[in-house]
Amino acid sequence: MEPDEKIQYAIEHTEVIRPPEQSLATFGTTNIYYYLITELMESANVVREGRVIAARPKIVTPSYLINLEGFTTQARRFIELMAEKNPHEPGIFYSYRNEPKEMNIASEPVKEIVDKINRRIDRQHDPLSAIIKGVEELWDVSLLKFTYELTRSSVHSNVAEMERRGLLHVDTAGVPGGTRNYIDELFEKARRDASRAPELVTELRRWGLFSEYQDRFFSLFKKT
């Protein structure tokens, strides 16, 4: 089986048995605890546990994305084409971190494993736990599919909430209102902790706003 065929197989054979009861938070970090069950061999299943940590959704535009690292050449070219047509069209950028915790081998059938985990989640009253049935060889693809579906189910409510607050409104400089708010937050963090200053500078440069904010930035370090 070719690599792309294996990935497609993993996608088609991944099932989210129990999704989280809550969507991704619009204005904060979301911490999802997952149980990923895969078949290792007959009468032996693997249960992986861990956390998918979704950072606070970020408002971006194609012009901003051009200045981000980590994209392939093809992806960057796509972003450039978007920037040529709608450079200041606001969108939402989601970023995630996976923190694996445990991996155990279980001899019970999948249904029994699921029932046991369901009871554990119910006892803990955790609305941010999920159970996923995936493919052992490409278990990380199964986890990515879960993450994608979680994002897709959350994006509508996230966008609606941002729109209600006017955060997606773009000013004459091509900067969304939510970004201005975020920059203000970074200034406050840098004021309290100078080690956060590089993060602020990076964000200003990605938006092409350093010259606009430079006086305010340098005033953070003036001795009184």
Q: Give tens-digit pLDDT for 131-179.
A: 999 999 999 999 999 999 999 999 999 999 999 999 999 999 999 999 9
* Percent of the chain predicted with pLDDT > 70: 98
Mean pLDDT (the chain, rounded): 92
**Mean pLDDT score, 209-218:** 96
Give the confidence band of 223 by pLDDT, cuts at 50, 70, 90. Answer: low
Domain chopping of the chain, boundaries: 3-57+94-162
| pLDDT digits 0-9 by tens, 2-45 | 677 888 899 999 999 999 999 999 999 999 999 999 999 888 99
What's the pLDDT score for residue 77? 83
Token pair in block for residue 190: 């840098």
Q: Contacts from 141-145 at CB under 8 Å and sequence distance 24+?
A: 141/7, 141/10, 141/11, 141/14, 142/10, 142/14, 142/36, 142/38, 143/34, 143/36, 143/52, 143/98, 145/10, 145/11, 145/14
Per-residue pLDDT for 211 more than 70? yes
Q: Higher-confidence residue: 68 or 191? A: 191
Give the confidence band of 70 by pLDDT, cuts at 50, 70, 90. Answer: confident
Token pair in block for residue 87: 């450079």
What's the pLDDT score for residue 82? 80
Q: Higher-confidence residue: 117 or 222? A: 117
Token pair in block for residue 46: 């693997």
Give the confidence band of 1 by pLDDT, cuts at 50, 70, 90. Answer: low
pTM of the predicted model, to two decimals?
Answer: 0.82
Burial pattern 166-176, b for ≥16 Cβ within 10 A else e, equals ebbebeeebbb
